[in-house]
Chains A and B, each alone.
Chain A
Amino acid sequence: MSVAVGVHRRRWRPSQIVLTAVGLLVSAVLVAPLVWTLFTSFKSEEEAVAVPVQWLPKDWTGQAWTNIFETGNITNWFVNSLVVSVCVTFIVVLVSALAGYGFARTEFRGKSALMALVMAGLMVSPAVLGVPLFTTVQSLGMVDTYWGMILPQCAPAAMVYILYRFFQGIPRELEEAAFIDGAGRWRIFFTIVLPLSRPSLAAVGIFTFIASWNNFLWPYMITNNPDLMTMPNGIATVMNSYGVQWAQLMAGGLMAGLPLIVVFVFFQRQIVAGVAHTGLAGQ
């Protein structure tokens, strides 16, 4: 039986040939802009804007890549992006796991009112309330600081809600058993609940890291100092400010975008599950 299924699966039926051909065509269209960007980054600035357009560089050169490292602050931006995203991810996972568990499993005064307040926060984003958020952070003296970039990204109501729903689904018996064995609530949380929720925590962490690494609007608003900018921010503002050099711009863009894509190739299953999980939790 299993052999028969295996053979059946591997056979190239006509419908599979057609579907695969369509899939390859669609993939080619979707990947083309990335390939075009990659080829542009290996052209000289003159060749990049030469007419007629050529797909492949005539003379492959790493000039654009060496230029962005030599002239700009791109290494600074890269490190800043890394520091900000890692801090944001760590704080978000810790804080929203604690809060999700608190709302799901513990009792305290005004819990339901606070939960409703947190749900209301799903509608607030830096895009909607950017100016008041800026003046708030300004009054805390955090303009042009790491904390100013990091902390406002660390209060995502959505992540609390996702983990809250997840913790509600864990059978209470496990916690009760641990409690009978003499564990306190913090120990139960850290030794029983957190290990059980690894997939959900990973989902929240992955989604948060992607969102934070790619965040443009908030770092753009809160930093003026080119040394403090993150990758997306620096590429969009500083690299565009002295006349566009397309090959360098594409090289910088790839440097901002490729790390996540490379990570994705290796951790595809986890990332897909993580993004789908966080997205589906909105249901």
Chain B
Amino acid sequence: MTSAEMSPAATPSVRMTTVGTPAAPRAIRPVAATAEASTRARLGRAFQHGGWFVAPFLLLYALFVLTPLARGLWLSFTDANITGEDASFVGFDNYTEALKDPLVWESLGHSAYFTLLVVPCIVVLALLLALLAHHIEHAKWLWRLCFFAPFLLPSAVVGNMWRWMFNPDTGLMDHVFGMESAWLTQKSTAMTAVVVATLWWTVGFSFLLYLAALQNIPRHLYEAAALDGAGPWGRLVHITLPLLRSITGLVVALQILASLQVFDQVVVMYEFGPGPEESTRTMVQYTLEQGFTSYRVGYASAISILFFVIIAAFALARMWLLRKREEGVR
């Protein structure tokens, strides 16, 4: 225990204010202060200096989040290579080059295309799976197990499995659907194959979020609607779907942010190459290629920063939308 905790409750505490103003004389607490209030004051003092609680996290955070961010910003204005030696300042050269680099736009396009395909499919499939699992009364554990299990696999394993599934002639997709052509070797279907694999792998996560939301809808709403003569369809449209609106917002936001950063399963399915006719190179992949294959760390950092700005814009837009909606509710 520190001495502050032991000191009498009547002593005015300067440290209570976080800004740390100099010890201005303050009125002594009225003698009539209740015992409860004095306990609260003592407790409040005991919980000052909470810095020690957050210090370990902040140290890791500073080292592995803030430093790379600052370092990336600095490197993006240099021509640094992978060794970090002899880097010189080049101003905005990296940025102007990146904005003119067709591969930056192409890879951004591939990531955006992937996102546009995945997000709506995930929302619809996850919702359908959740409605199904929620309404079947028997063996509830079985549906959760089967719908969610793929999410537990590592992305690298998923990539290999679906490379095997889509393998021409010997793959299961070829066998079951009799697909004449191999999806993995054609520009038009290359990204769709990744989307199929990704849906199979990640739909379980959004499914769980929807399932939890469905279970949170109060039963009496349905009972009241049933009394008013609403059928199953009416209850779905007028009660369930409107009440799932906020969870849908969450699923969409999480999926957009995750999908824009797609990398793992794509490179594993295309053996770390750019895909047929370079049609599956994503933003993350291009950045890493510039950094680790071409050793252009400065240029890669500039692309990273541009990418970070895009991601941040999406995240901030969501926060803004949420705040606006909250104000609308009030």
Using a CB–CB cutoff of 8 Å, the interface residues on chain A facing chain B are 9, 16, 19-20, 22-23, 26-27, 30-34, 36-37, 40, 48-53, 94-96, 98-99, 101-103, 105-112, 114, 117-118, 121-125, 127-140, 151-152, 154-155, 157, 160, 175-176, 179-180, 184-185, 189, 210, 213-217, 221, 231-233, 235-236, 240, 246, 249-250, 253-254, 256-257, 260-261, 264-265, 268, 272, 275-276, 279-280, 282-283
Using a CB–CB cutoff of 8 Å, the interface residues on chain B facing chain A are 1, 5, 15-16, 18-20, 39-40, 42-44, 46-54, 56-58, 60-61, 63-69, 71-72, 75, 80, 82, 84, 129, 132-133, 135-139, 141-157, 159-162, 164-165, 167, 169-172, 174-175, 200, 205, 208-209, 211-213, 246-247, 250, 253-254, 257, 261, 263-264, 267-268, 271, 284, 287-288, 290-292, 297, 300-301, 304, 307-308, 311-312, 315
Q: In the bound complex, do residue A151 and residue B208 qualify as a contact, i.e. CB atoms below 8 Å apart?
A: no
Q: Is the interface of A mostly helix, strand, loop or mixed?
A: helix
Task: Choose among A27, A48, A136, A180 the residue that contacts B71 (Cβ–Cβ < 8 A).
Answer: A136
* A109 and B71 contact, Cβ closer than 8 Å, known pairs A133-B64, A155-B65: no
Contacts of B291 in A (CB 8 A): 130-131, 134
State A33–B171 Cα separation when bound (angstroms). Answer: 11
How many Cβ-Cβ contacts under 8 Å join chain A to chain B? 313
Task: Choose among B16, B200, B247 the residue that contacts A33 (Cβ–Cβ < 8 A).
Answer: B200
Q: In the bound complex, do residue A106 and residue B49 qualify as a contact, i.e. CB atoms below 8 Å apart?
A: yes
State A105–B304 Cα separation when bound (angstroms). Answer: 36
* A217 and B143 contact, Cβ closer than 8 Å, known pairs A31-B149, A101-B53, A246-B164: no
Q: In the bound complex, do residue B250 and residue A131 qualify as a contact, i.e. CB atoms below 8 Å apart?
A: no
Q: In the bound complex, do residue A130 and residue B133 qualify as a contact, i.e. CB atoms below 8 Å apart?
A: no
Q: In the bound complex, do residue B152 and residue A210 qualify as a contact, i.e. CB atoms below 8 Å apart?
A: yes
* A139 and B84 contact, Cβ closer than 8 Å, known pairs A36-B172, A96-B57, A99-B57: yes
State A213–B151 Cα separation when bound (angstroms). Answer: 12
Contacts of A34 in B (CB 8 A): 149-150
Contacts of B246 in A (CB 8 A): 283
Contacts of B47 in A (CB 8 A): 105-107, 185
* A256 and B157 contact, Cβ closer than 8 Å, known pairs A30-B150, A53-B175: yes
Q: In the bound complex, do residue B154 and residue A213 qualify as a contact, i.e. CB atoms below 8 Å apart?
A: yes
Q: In the bound complex, do residue A157 and residue B65 qualify as a contact, i.e. CB atoms below 8 Å apart?
A: yes
CB distance from A174 to the nearest CB of B (A): 11
Q: In the bound complex, do residue B284 and residue A127 qualify as a contact, i.e. CB atoms below 8 Å apart?
A: yes
New A-B pairs, 5, CB < 8 Å, besides A32-B172, A106-B47: A99-B56, A140-B63, A214-B153, A276-B211, A276-B212
Q: In the bound complex, do residue B315 and residue A272 qualify as a contact, i.e. CB atoms below 8 Å apart?
A: no
State A257–B153 Cα separation when bound (angstroms). Answer: 5
State A155–B58 Cα separation when bound (angstroms). Answer: 8
Most central of A40, A122, A185 by chain B CB within 10 Å: A185
Q: In the bound complex, do residue A217 and residue B264 qualify as a contact, i.e. CB atoms below 8 Å apart?
A: yes
Contacts of B250 in A (CB 8 A): 279-280, 282-283
Contacts of B54 in A (CB 8 A): 98-99, 102-103, 108, 114
Contacts of A138 in B (CB 8 A): 84
State A233–B267 Cα separation when bound (angstroms). Answer: 12
